[in-house]
Structure formats: structure tokens, C-alpha cells
Amino acid sequence: MMKCISCGAEYSDDEIIYTCRQCDSILEVICQPKVSKDVFQCRKATMWKYKEFMPVDPSKIVSLDEGGTPFCKCDNLGKELGVELYVKVEGSNPTGSFKDRGMSVGITKALELGVDTVGCASTGNTSASLAAYAARAGLKCAVLLPAGKVALGKLAQAMFHGAQVISVRGNFDQALEAITALALEGQLYLLNSINPYRLEGQKSIGFEIVDELGWKSPDRIILPVGNAGNISAIWKGITEFHETGFIDDLPRMTGIQAEKAAPIARAVQNGQDDIIPVKNPETVATAIRIGAPVSAKKAIRAIYESDGLAETVSDQEILSAQKLLARTEGIGVEPASAASIAGLKKLINSGKIDKNEQIVCVVTGHVLKDPQVAIDACKDPVEVDADINALSKIIKSS
């Protein structure tokens, strides 16, 4: 069953519907399985380990073994910052971002509904992921991308997996509005995170974090926020495990946005329940270059309910955090992902996060998604003859 988060209107699972017919608000899937956590033992470490919590037909699952991503204790960086730090590395998913979790459930749902065409608007990773899962399921796929604003790795993936890639003159918010209109005409099944089934897959990030910590919640989970589906999804997952009795405590959800694309952080800092959209969002972190996040209400609710925080970071802070994580821990992430580390640093410096807290930063996408940013952050390699004296001189000089 799906339920409106504002007025509580209920909709059946076999309806294709994205927003409430009564009040136009967003929907969530209600999922209350009665299981013991013992059933998870000995299962393969993918997100389908928790399949009882995934509201789709188990005989139709389309999977590339997404989830089960590395959960790295980061003592080098943690000591430097004065917290106990874990990093959940979502770049290790099949197409290199957490979107794969959502698409696995979303495409499974598409098969269940019997649609033949799927689509999305995307800042890049949603389209890369959708293209791959649609290929695996044998579905037609159309993706709308904001022209000139998609990182190269993501664009290459969407095209290579055979999606029809359409470059739209405009930003992500405008592309999403356009594809939503097409979906409402019945021309395709929309797999942006306004589709509540996407979040059902992504909530498994929350499941994995508390499972990895021995059925305990960390003090805080920090992640970048763009369209705001993921923070909503992780909170949904954690609260489902809490309600089922698998964990006793809850984390503070902490969302980080780029300074010039920060409607949610502004709303939270002003104590409001909804956002004022940002007209021309801008940031080097293209994955979170979004001015009118569709899941804003869910995200703001998650932050308030969990006594969490929202913070903004500059592009400079994002890029230096990206480098810091790469150089102190060997974890390469794309700029948007580094917003979580940049936000952590800023919140520690301002005293809003206590020293010694146990923190999980979710890093959302792989460094190779945006190779240009990585290359631009470094000096060109020196070029020499393959002569050992010349080589040895250079190596010693560094």
C-alpha cells in the first residue's frame, strides 16, 4: 500500500501514481513485515539480504547484486577530526552510486506493473543506473539530462547501456518537470525518487549501517542532499528496523547541501516545514545541483524527528574534503559525496557536533564518475625518458 505523507490518503500497490490525488503531496510505501532478524543470517551480502522489507514480487527481482557496500572505519581522518568515523562507500555499487539500490526495486516494480518504457530526469547517476537496470530487464529507457551539466562518466554510462539520452536546455528541475508531465500522460514509468519504490531500495543503506554496527545505531548519519530522496529513505529504513525491534536507538540525520543549492538547509535553519525553491542552483557537485527537491517534506521531517541538522558547504570546502578523504583514507568519491565529509568538518569546527561522537558519513558516488574534477585538482604528471637516473632523481625530489 502507498500512503500520502500529508493527508494520509491510501493507494493500492498496483496503481501507477506519483503524487496524492487529494492534496498533491508525495507518497510513501507502507511496509510492515513480521520477521526475526535471524532470517538475515547466512544470506549473501547484497541489499536483498533484507528482502522481506522490499515491497515487490520476489519472483521478478532485477538485481546486479547492489548493496552490501564497504563500511570502512576511518581512523586516520577520524583521529584528525576527533570523532569515531565510518564511511559507507556507495561508489562500490554496480554502476558506481547508491542509485542502484533504488533502481533494483524500481525496475522490479516496473516489471510487476507490466510497463514497457521507463524514464527519468537526472543529474547523471540516476540515468546511469536506470540505463543499466533497464537493459538487464529488457525495458526501453529514456533519460533527460541538463545540457552541459552532467559529469562525463555518468553520461558515458547512460549512453553505453543503450538508453535514449536527451540533453535538455535547462536545469535538472526543469527536466524533471518535463519528464513528470510525460509520465502523467502514461508515456513512460517514472523512476525519479518521487516514485516511492525507489526509496524502498535506498532504505537498505540504513539497514546495512545498523547491521554492520552489531544492531546498534550510530550517533549520527551524515550525507549529501540533492533531491532529498536518500536522506528520507535511510531514515525510513532505520525507523522500520526500530519499530520492528531490531535496534533500540536512533541516529541524528544530518543533511549537507552546497551553498548555492541549499533550499532544505535554509528551511531547517529557519525552522520551516517546507522549502523555498532556489531558482538557479549552482555547484561543482553536479549530483546535488538541485533547487526544488521533490522529497523535501520527507527530508525535513526526518531531520526534525531525529533531532538532526542541516548544513551548507562551499564548493571549495567540497573539493578540499574530496582530496582529504582520498589522501588520508584511500577512498575516492565524486564531489557531491565529499559534501558529507566537508559538512562533518564544518559542524565539528562550529561545535555543533561533539567530539567522540560515532559518525557514519555516506559517500554516494565513485571518483571516476567525474574524472575531469579529479584531473583538474592535480598537477600534470612529469614526463621523462625511461632512464633510471632521471627517474630516481625525480622520485627522490618529491
Give residues in contact with ligand PLP (CB under 6 A).
Answer: 97, 99, 125, 193, 224-230, 287-288, 334, 336-337, 364-365
**Closer to ligand PLP by Cβ: residue 180 or 230:** 230
20 binds, among ligand PLP, Zn ion, none (CB under 5 to 8 A by kind): Zn ion
23 binds, among ligand PLP, Zn ion, none (CB under 5 to 8 A by kind): Zn ion
Please give the full DSSP string across 90-117, using - where no structure is assigned: GGGSTTSBTHHHHHHHHHHHHHHHT-SE
Cβ 181 to ligand PLP shortest distance, Å: 20
Cβ 27 to Zn ion shortest distance, Å: 8
Q: Is 9 in the site for Zn ion (CB under 5 A)?
A: yes
125 binds, among Zn ion, ligand PLP, none (CB under 5 to 8 A by kind): ligand PLP
Cβ 190 to ligand PLP shortest distance, Å: 15
Q: Is 36 in the site for Zn ion (CB under 5 A)?
A: no
SS3 30: coil
SS3 140: strand
Q: By CB under 5 A, what part of segment 182-221 binds Zn ion?
A: none
**Closer to ligand PLP by Cβ: residue 193 or 254:** 193
The answer to whether 362 touches 98, Cβ cutoff 8 Å, is yes
**Closer to Zn ion by Cβ: residue 7 or 394:** 7
> What DSSP designation does 120 have?
E
**Closer to ligand PLP by Cβ: residue 84 or 283:** 283
> What DSSP designation does 19 have?
B
**Closer to ligand PLP by Cβ: residue 26 or 84:** 26
Q: What number of CA atoms fall less than 13 Å from residue 43's CA on the CB side?
A: 17
Residues 6+ apart with CB under 8 A from 356: 82, 83, 84
334 binds, among Zn ion, ligand PLP, none (CB under 5 to 8 A by kind): ligand PLP
268 binds, among ligand PLP, Zn ion, none (CB under 5 to 8 A by kind): none
Cβ 295 to ligand PLP shortest distance, Å: 7
Residues 6+ apart with CB under 8 A from 144: 119, 120, 121, 122, 166, 168, 175, 176, 178, 179
Cα distances (angstroms) measured from residue 280 to each of 59, 273, 283, 299:
44, 22, 10, 21
User: What's the alpha-carbon Rg for the chain, to the nearest Å?
Assistant: 21
Cβ 219 to ligand PLP shortest distance, Å: 21
